Structure 1
C-alpha cells in the first residue's frame, strides 16, 4: 500500500467518524443501538477497516462501546454519569483565560456574527439539524481559541457526550432552546469583540449550567 492509499483511508475514517458522531448526538442512533460494521461500510462504499477506525475513535470519546465478539453499541449514560459530565464541563469553562489560549480575531467575530444571524431563522422554523449545526460550529469556534491540546481534547469529548441529551431536551422546549442559543451567541459575540477570552469562558459556564438545570428538571434530578 502506498502513502496515498493510507491517507485516503485516514480521510475516510475521519469522515465516517464525524458523521456517525453527529447521528449519535442527534439521536438518529439511540442509546443502546447496535452499529453494524458491514452495513456502514456498504453505505459509504468502503472496506471495514476505516469503519473499525471510526468505531475506535467513538469508543475513546465514550460514545460507543465495542464488545468483542458481539458488536458495537451506542453508550448510555445514567443520571450520575450525566451529572459528572456537566460538572466537569462547568469547571473546565472557568479555566478559559487561565490556560494557554490565543486572542480572538476579526475572523472569530465574523463567525459568531454569522451564527447569530443563522439562529434567528429557527424562531419560526423547527429544524433540529440546523440547531445542531449552529451549536456544532459554535463549539469548534470557541474551542479554536484554546491552544492547550489536552484541555481541548477533553473539552471536545465531554461536549459530544452531553450533546445528545441536550438535543433531546431541545425538541421539547424548542422556543426556549432557540432563545438560549441566541442569547449565548450575543454574549459571546460581545466578549469576542472585546477580546475577553476569560469572559468567553464564564459565558460558556453560565450557559452550560443553564442547560444542565433544564436537563435535570426533565429527568427529575
Structure 2
C-alpha cells in the first residue's frame, strides 16, 4: 500500500517478499513457514539483486565516497572499486575534482566481514574497501592506476542547514564531568572530526566555535560522541 501511495511503477511494485526474524535468525518465503536459518533471504538476494556493473580487467579506479580517521593509520579513504584490481604497497594517482593530481602509495587495504573491518591483500572491482596511505583524501577524489588517470564525476555533498556555537564550559559545575575542557582541546577534536565528517563546517569565534551541520540530529550525534569521549563544553544557538 505504501508503494502504491508513493506512486511506484508496476515494475517497482513487483518485488519479492521474504519474512524474517532477526531474533530467531530465521527467514522464509511464507509468513508461517520460516526456515531453519537465513538461507531464504540470502538466496533471494543472490537471485534478484544484480551484480555490480564493473570492469574487472581494466586499470584500477575508485572514487572516494566516505572518509575515516584514526591516530595510528591517519586518514582513510573509503569507496567502491569501479574498475580493476589493487594490491597493498601499490603506487597510485589521486585526481581531485579541481584537476589536481598527486602521487600516493597504498599502505593497507581493508574490507568488511559483517560489521568488522578486516585487512585484505588486494581489492578488485565491486569491492567496498578502505585505503590507507593517501595523505589528504577528499570526498569525490578518484584513486587511479598511474597508467590511466581518469577522474570520475564529482559527488554532491549537502550544505549545512543548522548552526550551533560550541563554547568552553564556564558554569559553576565546569570540570566536574569531562576531562577535555579547554578551548584548544575542543578545537583539536573538531579539526579531527572535519577530516571524516565532510558535511560539517567549523568557524572559529574567538574562544568559541560556530559548528554547522545538516540538521539537529547531525550535530546531536557529534555532541554525544564528544561527551562519551570525555569532552565537556557548553552549546548555544
TM range (shorter): under 0.3
Q: Which has the higher helix share?
A: 1
TM-score (norm 1): 0.26
Higher RCO (C-alpha under 8 Å, 6+ residues apart) = 1
TM-score (norm 2): 0.25
**Whose Rg is larger?**
2
